């Protein structure tokens, strides 16, 4: 009963906010505007965005929060600010500290025009998922320090942080929560960081994914020229479909958090990416929407198990002891992509068997995978050398070799 009452009050607030938004922008009567402003408390909700977390902003149906990453960068950020001003829209800008120090006038302009200024680290490293917590803390705190120094007011920077590349790490998220900083992910992307994507494609993908969920946080990049070119069409289409823009600001002592019901925050389960396989270099991402955006390194499986040498190493990275050759899936029959030859006879004939003939082409050099087939004395001498100076040992025909048509990457087990 209490939740129903709260929801009815919030619905009335949404309707009133829409009327207020129209009156607050008299110079642009046909503008999209801001329907309402949500005040959030980072201590109550630490992580938002259903692509990675179970909670998101407490939005009603057909409400969208616009966010921009990686700026500021002229002239693209300036053009984005011009477009937002023409539509009387307020957004959240996750700015890089280094960029803010380089272009402080754009940071001040965004803040003076009422946009929320948030942190996106000092240098935008794409290693937050594996860096030490103290290193991540320096990136976070230096980013806040740079933004506050540019604006000259600690309270002018919201305690919001978005991890570069969305490469999350639990220990980093725990540090942010202990610092009363809200971690933002996203609800939908527009893929506007792709180098060859067209403005119309950015707008199309954004609208399609917004329609699929109905509400949420949209991630864009104000440093991309294609984003600035796509933004007018995107806003026009949102208005035509009845969507409303919501502005998010942090709670303060003078500005209490917006009253919400718990069920408004939890709407979707976090997105779980599909497991990836062996990378194959050189494949470009397809323009088809059915292909999930990913790094330029596409992925696939090799056609069959590859026999491997199992070897252990000591604390200094040196082979502790040459392990016997272990062939996995020994019962499987080699495919046509692999060629296997019997081991040459022992004794003096072995040198004749391995020497190339005058009529035959020279065999390729043996790889490090064949070193376990070498004599024990040769392995011992090779183990005493630095890792980069070790020569491949053993007969090259002691293991099946992939043909030139297959990927040179090893099989990941």
Asked if residue 329 has pLDDT above 50, the reply is no
Asked if residue 46 has pLDDT above 70, the reply is yes
Percentage of the chain modeled with pLDDT above 70: 59
The encoded tokens of residue 350 equal: 């072995």
- At a CB cut-off of 8 Å and minimum separation 6, what does 117 contact? 93, 95, 107, 110, 111, 147, 151, 156, 157, 158
Q: What does the domain layout of the chain look like in residue ranges?
A: 10-274, 312-347+367-400
User: What residue has token string 């060859």?
Assistant: 196
Position 195 scores a pLDDT of: 86
What kind of fold does domain 10-274 have according to CATH?
TIM Barrel (3.20.20)
The mean pLDDT value of the chain amounts to 75
- Per-residue pLDDT of 310-320, as tens digits, reads 445 555 555 65
> Is residue 366 within 8 Å of residue 395, measured between CB atoms?
yes
272 - beta bridge partners?
Answer: none
pTM above 0.85, yes or no: no
**pLDDT (average), residues 5-23:** 44
Position 120 scores a pLDDT of: 98
DSSP string, 20-56: HHHHT-TT-TT---EEEEEEE-TTT--EE-TTTSSB-
- Per-residue pLDDT of 244-265, as tens digits, reads 999 999 999 999 999 999 889 9
Position 339 scores a pLDDT of: 41
Position 85 scores a pLDDT of: 97
Q: Using omega within 30 degrees of 0 as the cis cutoff, is the peptide bond preceding 72 cis?
A: yes
Query: What is the number of other CB atoms lying within 10 angstroms of the CB of residue 58?
Result: 24
Stronger pLDDT, 62 or 262, i.e. the higher one: 62
Position 25 scores a pLDDT of: 79
Neighbour-count burial of 310, counting CB atoms closer than 10 A to its CB (0-12 exposed, 13-18 middle, 19+ buried): exposed
- Per-residue pLDDT of 190-247, as tens digits, reads 999 998 999 999 999 999 999 999 999 999 999 999 999 999 999 999 999 999 999 9
Q: Using omega within 30 degrees of 0 as the cis cutoff, is the peptide bond preceding 75 cis?
A: yes
Asked if residue 294 has pLDDT above 50, the reply is no
Asked if residue 35 has pLDDT above 90, the reply is yes
pLDDT band at 389 (very low <50, low <70, confident <90, very high): low
Position 27 scores a pLDDT of: 79
Position 341 scores a pLDDT of: 46
pLDDT band at 28 (very low <50, low <70, confident <90, very high): confident
Asked if residue 55 has pLDDT above 90, the reply is yes
Strand extents, DSSP E, 13-143: 34-40, 47-48, 63-69, 92-95, 116-119
Q: How far is CA 100 from CA 94, 171, 259, in A?
A: 10, 27, 33
- Per-residue pLDDT of 135-183, as tens digits, reads 999 999 999 999 999 999 999 999 999 999 999 999 999 999 999 999 9
- Per-residue pLDDT of 331-384, as tens digits, reads 444 444 434 444 444 444 444 444 444 544 554 444 444 444 445 555 556 566
């Amino acid at each position: 009963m209490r939740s129903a009452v709260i929801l009815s009050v919030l619905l009335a607030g949404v309707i009133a906010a829409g009327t207020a938004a129209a009156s607050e922008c008299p110079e642009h009567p046909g503008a999209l505007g801001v329907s309402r402003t949500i005040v959030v408390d980072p201590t109550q909700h630490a992580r938002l965005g259903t692509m990675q977390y179970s909670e998101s902003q407490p939005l009603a149906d057909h409400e969208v929060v616009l966010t921009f990453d990686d700026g500021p960068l002229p002239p693209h950020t300036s053009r984005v600010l011009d477009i937002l001003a023409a539509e009387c829209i307020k957004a959240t800008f996750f700015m890089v500290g280094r960029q803010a120090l380089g272009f402080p006038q754009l940071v001040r302009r965004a803040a003076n025009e009422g946009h929320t200024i948030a942190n996106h680290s000092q240098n935008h490293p794409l290693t937050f998922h594996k860096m030490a917590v103290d290193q991540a803390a320096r990136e976070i705190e230096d980013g806040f320090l740079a933004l506050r120094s540019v604006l000259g007011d600690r309270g002018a920077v919201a305690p919001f942080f978005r991890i570069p590349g969305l490469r999350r790490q639990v220990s980093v998220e725990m540090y942010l929560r202990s610092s009363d900083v809200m971690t933002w992910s996203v609800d939908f992307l527009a893929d506007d960081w792709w180098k060859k994507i067209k403005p119309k494609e950015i707008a199309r993908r954004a609208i399609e994914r917004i329609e699929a969920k109905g509400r949420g946080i949209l991630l864009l990049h104000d440093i991309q020229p294609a984003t600035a070119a796509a933004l007018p069409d995107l806003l026009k289409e949102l208005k035509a479909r009845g969507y409303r823009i919501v502005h998010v600001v942090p709670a303060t002592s003078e500005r209490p958090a917006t009253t919400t019901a718990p069920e408004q925050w939890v709407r979707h389960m976090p997105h779980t990416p599909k497991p990836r396989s062996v990378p194959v270099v050189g494949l470009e991402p397809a323009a088809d929407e059915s292909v999930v955006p990913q790094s330029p390194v596409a992925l696939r499986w090799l056609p069959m198990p590859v026999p491997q040498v199992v070897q252990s190493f000591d604390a200094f990275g040196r082979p502790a002891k040459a392990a016997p050759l272990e062939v996995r899936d020994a019962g499987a029959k080699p495919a046509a992509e692999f060629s296997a030859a019997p081991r040459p006879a022992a004794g003096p004939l072995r040198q004749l068997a391995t020497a190339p003939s005058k009529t035959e082409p020279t065999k390729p050099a043996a790889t490090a995978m064949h070193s376990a087939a070498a004599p024990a004395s040769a392995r011992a001498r090779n183990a005493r050398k630095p890792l980069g100076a070790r020569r491949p040992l053993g007969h090259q025909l002691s293991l099946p070799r992939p043909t030139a048509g297959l990927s040179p990457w090893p099989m990941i087990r």
